Amino acid sequence: MFWSGGFGSAVLEFFNSRHLTKVQVECFGLPDAFIEQGTRAELLELCNLTEQAVADAVRAFIKE
């Protein structure tokens, strides 16, 4: 999945501008694609951004 702009991109640009290439960053956010309408809960589920999904992703990232 590809994200464009946002806080994650700003963090990556910051590290890159300081030549900090050994820092690992995991970006979360909305995909750069059309997102259907729905309730907040439905949209978070659709984009895999529920509390549980983010927590699972962070745990997996830390284990790497």
Backbone angles phi, psi at 26, to 5 degrees: -110, 120
CB contact at 8 A, 3 and 30: yes
CB contact at 8 A, 58 and 26: yes
Per-residue model confidence as pLDDT tens digits over 9-55? 889 999 999 999 898 888 888 777 888 899 999 999 998 999 999 99
Give the pTM: 0.69
22, part of any domain: yes
pLDDT at 1 over 70: no
Q: What is the pLDDT of residue 34?
A: 86
Per-residue model confidence as pLDDT tens digits over 14-23? 999 999 989 8
Show the domain range for 49: 6-63
Rounded CA separation 21/44 (Å): 31
CB contact at 8 A, 29 and 8: yes
Both tokens of 50, joined, read 């529920």
1, part of any domain: no
**Number of domains making up the chain:** 1
34, part of any domain: yes
Rounded CA separation 17/15 (Å): 6
